[in-house]
Amino acid sequence: MCIIVIREGGNVMNRLQALRTEKGINMKEAAQALSMPYTTYVNYEKGTREPSSEVLIKLAKFYDTSIDYLVGKVERVAPIPAGFQPLPKRDRIPRVGQIACGTPILAEENVEAYDEVPSDWHANFTLLCQGDSMEPKIKDGDVVAIHSQPMVENGEVAAVLIDGEATLKRVFLFDDHIELRAENPTFPTILRIGEDMNTITIEGKAVGLCRKL
């Protein structure tokens, strides 16, 4: 969840002052609304008098906050502004670079960096897209998240290994051949027939991408 933490100090005096200012009232108005003597309220804000538990409950209700916040045990979490959504839970996963022949794709020597992606993508690793073979869907510089799986449905974008190099292509698997098609029609389809199909390994399905604005 995306939270906005507001820090105004760690005691009742500082926090009452901040809350009252946000409410747009003076100390006399606050005392009247709380049905307490003006001098009593002033002493609470000045820190010369500690409020009882009953008064803390009253203050917390009046300022729409918690007692723990008033006494400095927790910070205040402001509501997310209208028009924004909280960030989803995220996972930190490895970004894979050049792949050595015969080395598992997630081997330590293949990890170049780490990326954070939404957890509900169920991604296991990311790839940095280089070139424009998958444009306009995937652009040069996009970081594509991959869910590890040995097969994909025909037409899905997948990370595949060809001669030890990871690439992104649309996969079309047939009984006697496999086609790896680029999104960009100017790029030729990669075709492997018969036993040559074994030179291609599907490493996983593309489930999301991160792009700089």
Q: Report residue 96 as tokens.
A: 């894979």
Q: How far is CA 137 from CA 125, 133, 196, 211, in A?
A: 19, 10, 28, 11
Q: Report residue 77 as tokens.
A: 């979490």
Residue 141, amino acid: G
Q: Catalytic site residues?
A: 133, 169
Edge-first strand listing for the sheet containing 90-96: 111-118, 90-96, 125-128, 143-148, 200-210, 157-162, 165-173, 177-181, 190-193
Residue 161 bridge partners (DSSP)? 166, 201
The candidate with the shortest Cα–Cα distance to 91, out of 127, 141, 125, is 125
Question: How many Å apart are CA 181 and CA 75, to the nearest integer?
Answer: 53
